[in-house]
Each structure stands twice: as C-alpha cells, then as structure tokens.
Structure 1
Amino acid sequence: MPQPQTSSPGQGQRFDWWAAPAAASQPGRPAPPPPPVHTPAARSAHADAVPPQPVAPAPAAAAAPVAPVLPVTVLPDAAPAVVDSSTEVYRAVQASEAFQAIKLGYRAFVFPVSGAFLGWYLLYVAAQAAAPGVMRSQVAGPVNVAWLLGLLQFASTFLLTWLYARNARTKRDRAALELRWDTQDALR
C-alpha cells in the first residue's frame, strides 16, 4: 500500500492552515484556504481548481513612543550635560543603604551556595574519572555509588532552590518592595 507523501506548503498555501477555523470566526477576515492535500495527483488537481491566495502584507508595526527631549545645559569648558530627573532618582536609590543591604544579602547567600554546589558537582565528575571502581560498587541491588551520587545531585538542586526562595522571601523581598515603592513615589 503506497504511503501518502507529505510536503511543506507550496506557493500560495498558508503555513497556519490548522488555525484557520479560529481565524474564520473573526468578522472581517477572509475565509481560509483549504488544508493542503498530500497525494501528488490530488495536489495537482487541487492546484488547478483553486487559484493561489494572495498573501496579505503584514500590518505596519506601531510606532515606538518617542522619548521627550530634555533641556541641555552647556557649561563653559565642559561637555554638554543632559538633565534627567529619573536618572538621578535611580542613582540615589543605588547609593542608598537599603539597596546596598539588599544587594549584600543576595550576594551573601548566592555566591557561597553557588560555589558549594559547583564544588559538589565537580567532585562527582572527578570521582567518576578518578575512581571508577569505587563508583561501580553496589549500594543496594542495582543501585551503585554513581547512581546514588547522581540522584543526590537532583535532590540538592531542589533543596537549594527551596532554600533560595525561602531566603529571598524572609530576608529580601519586603525590603526590595518597599524600596520599589519609594522609587516609584520619587519618580512621580
């Protein structure tokens, strides 16, 4: 029994024929073309019976909003400086003690934990390369040391994800949200 041939849509056929019923339900849209036919004889008969549909040009992209032009103050013997109040607000936030405390709390957790996890992973890889006999030793039934350490990699990943979420929720999220509210108030 011959297998039906499949092909990609030809010229004039749409690539999204499977989404045509949803598109047809929208008012003002033309009816979608029929789905492509997969046998050579039916394809040529279909091509003779249905003229190719013209492809509509894509709608023009909405124009991006134009940023307001800010006044420029020219100082003698200096480069022109642009006065921007939002830049000053963000610089003040970055220099604030609250932001520095949030950043320090983040780094105090992430850097040591990332280093410990990377060391744990590299220890596993080095043990595979340096001591294959130890890694092949059976622990329980078909489970050997390599399988056990590999499964512990997954367990430690989930544990570290939970610890990070708990650390962020208890130590940094409230302070970061308050700093965000203060920043938004300063920008108004």
Structure 2
Amino acid sequence: MVGDRSTRTVYEEVQDSDEFAALRSRLRRFVFPMSAAFLVWYLAYVLLASYARDFMAIKVLGNINMGLVIGLLQFVTTFAITTAYVRYANKHLDPAAERIRQRVEGRG
C-alpha cells in the first residue's frame, strides 16, 4: 500500500492482512463457481428456448410444457443458491468477518 506504516489507516492494514485475504478467498471459492454454474444453467435455458422448440413444447401435465417447467426451475435454483450462500456465509464467512470487525473496532 501507499504510505508508511504510521500513516496507514486501520482499514488499509486490515485489507493487507492475511486474515482478510483468507476471508476474501473463502468468499470467492463459493461465489465464482456458483455464479458460473447458474450462468451455464440460465444459458442452457435460453438456448433450449431458442433452438429446441420441439423439446420445450413437450407437454408435461395438461397445458404445462417443458419450457414452463424449466423456466420455473430458474426461480427454484435462485432460492436454492441463496439458501446455500446464507448457510455457507454463516459457517465460513461471518465468524472471520466478525473477528476482523472486532479487531478494527477495538482500535477505535
């Protein structure tokens, strides 16, 4: 970082700490793969809707077709990812973030 140790803020010190780097790494280990998986899933839906019209038109139950089922599963997936993230954050992210917060506030 810019500046010597005496002019750095507590936030700059925290940002350069190993503990913060580990927290950031844990967050990225969840967010990037989950985001990629969801984008692939969403892209598959868009491609199916565009190029596999016969498949998407298959009747599943009454007037409900595969397109509607897969489209609704997009919402289910969103809620499942949110639930998974909350559980992951509660177990792996929040305790470390709390330790960092206490350290920062302890200096103030």
Count of aligned residue pairs for this structure pair: 107
Q: Structure 2: which amino acid aligns with 1:180? A: R
1:131 match: 52
1:172 match: 93
Q: Structure 2: which amino acid aligns with 1:161? A: T
With the length of structure 1 as denominator, give the TM-score of the two structures. Answer: 0.53
Larger radius of gyration: 1
Residue 147 (str. 1) matches residue 68 (str. 2): yes
Q: Structure 1: which amino acid aligns with 2:21? A: Q
CA RMSD of aligned residues (A): 2.0
2:18 match: 97
**Alignment match of 2:40 (pick from 111, 119, 138):** 119
Q: 1:90 to 1:113 in 2, by over 3 A?
A: same
**Deviation for aligned residue 1:83:** 8.2
With the length of structure 2 as denominator, give the TM-score of the two structures. Answer: 0.90
CA distance in 2, matches of 1:87, 1:173: 25
Structure 2 unaligned regions, length at least 5: none
CA distance in 2, matches of 1:158, 1:96: 34
CA distance in 2, matches of 1:88, 1:137: 61
Residue 110 (str. 1) matches residue 21 (str. 2): no
Structure with bigger helix share is 2
Structure with greater contact order relative to length (CA < 8 Å, sep ≥ 6): 2
Structure 1 unaligned regions, length at least 5: 1-81
Structure 2 counterpart SS, 1:139:
strand
Q: Structure 2: which amino acid aligns with 1:114? A: S
